[in-house]
Homo-oligomer: A and B are copies of this chain.
Amino acid sequence: MSKNSEFIDKLRLSGLRPTKQRLKICEVLFDREKTFHFTINDLAKNISDKIGEKISLATVYNTVHAFKNKGYLKEISVNSHKSYFDTNITNHHHFFDQDTNQLIDCDEDVIENLKVKKNITGKKISSIEVLIKVATDNQNQK
């Protein structure tokens, strides 16, 4: 399992000890084809599905925050009362499907020409994010 030793290196380089739990979480998060957008609950479910052993919810929280602080995960702003995380750490924008509560990455060509022409004086821009909320084509507004 070469992936596994990559994860060990990555963790060591970040000053995080490669524990059994963190490696399992790495597998679930980073050993996949596509971007993973998840809430802590999604992740916990995913872990217990894919793996026999259980990881404490506190550890899942701790690890997700550690990974976020190291820049391996992004937190996404969604109008909801849960935090969403993203394994795609590049600058990109999202659709949010209000029917399924799923985040979906926008392809490069979805948002055209986004330019921010002014800024608050004395402040630095740390991120620019577009969120496009979508729903089934009924009368589902707002």
Q: Which A positions have Cβ atoms within 8 angstroms of B?
A: 71, 75-79, 81, 83, 95, 97-99, 104, 107, 109-120, 122-137, 140-142
- Whether the Cβ atoms of B130 and A130 lie closer than 8 Å is yes
- Whether the Cβ atoms of A114 and B116 lie closer than 8 Å is no
14 new A-B contacts, CB < 8 A, other than A95-B120, A112-B114, A124-B137, are: A77-B131, A81-B81, A95-B119, A99-B123, A104-B120, A107-B118, A109-B118, A113-B113, A113-B114, A125-B133, A126-B135, A126-B141, A129-B131, A130-B130
Smallest CB gap from A104: residue in B: B120
**CB<8 Å pairs between A and B, sample of 17:** A104-B120, A109-B118, A110-B116, A110-B117, A112-B114, A112-B116, A120-B134, A123-B136, A124-B134, A124-B140, A125-B132, A125-B134, A126-B134, A126-B142, A128-B130, A128-B132, A128-B133
Contacts of A75 in B (CB 8 A): 79
- Whether the Cβ atoms of A115 and B111 lie closer than 8 Å is yes
Assess A97 versus B79: contact at CB under 8 Å? Given A110-B118, A130-B114: no
